[in-house]
């Protein structure tokens, strides 16, 4: 089984609908992230969480919200989806800073492809 699991892997929805993308991890990492990938734009950070009580906005948080239900679970919500939120979404984890082995390496899920019509 994958260390970082995203559900659903594919979703087609309509404008105005509420969508939740879920992420769970078995790596035991404190830090979790949601990224969005668009062609030609690379990866852009939506939200990140250092632990259950610490959630922070990234570069492009407008139109999104998150919930860190437990150390292992981090969900991304689109309260009212719009077509320009059509993209490939990735959840990622990393270890806590201050540990000698931590250089900032991220561990990614396989992605959730969202299409908003």
Partner 1 sequence: GNSVTQMEGPVTLSEEAFLTINCTYTATGYPSLFWYVQYPGEGLQLLLKATKADDKGSNKGFEATYRKETTSFHLEKGSVQVSDSAVYFCALSVPGGYQKVTFGTGTKLQVIP
- The least distance separating partner 1 from the CB of residue 112, rounded to whole angstroms, comes to 10
Q: Which of residues 82-101 bind partner 1 (CB under 8 A)?
A: 90, 92, 94, 97
> Phi then psi for 53, rounded to 5 degrees?
-100, 10
20 part of the interface to partner 1, by CB under 8 A:
no
Identify the CA nearest to 29 among candidates 47, 61, 6, 52: 52
- The least distance separating partner 1 from the CB of residue 41, rounded to whole angstroms, comes to 6
Q: Which of residues 24-83 bind partner 1 (CB under 8 A)?
A: 40-43, 45, 48, 56
Binding site for partner 1 (CB under 8 A): 4, 40-43, 45, 48, 56, 90, 92, 94, 97, 103-106, 108-111
């Amino acid at each position: 089984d994958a260390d970082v699991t995203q559900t659903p892997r594919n979703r087609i929805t309509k404008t105005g609908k509420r969508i939740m993308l879920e992420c769970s991890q078995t790596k035991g990492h404190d830090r979790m992230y949601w990224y969005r990938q668009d062609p030609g734009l690379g990866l852009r950070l939506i939200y990140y969480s250092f632990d259950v009580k610490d959630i922070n906005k990234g570069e492009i948080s407008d139109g999104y919200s998150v919930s860190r239900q437990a150390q292992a679970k981090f969900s991304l919500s689109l309260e009212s989806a719009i077509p320009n939120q059509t993209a490939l979404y990735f959840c990622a984890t990393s270890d806590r800073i201050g540990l000698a082995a931590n250089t900032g390496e991220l561990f990614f899920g396989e992605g959730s492809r969202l299409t908003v019509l």
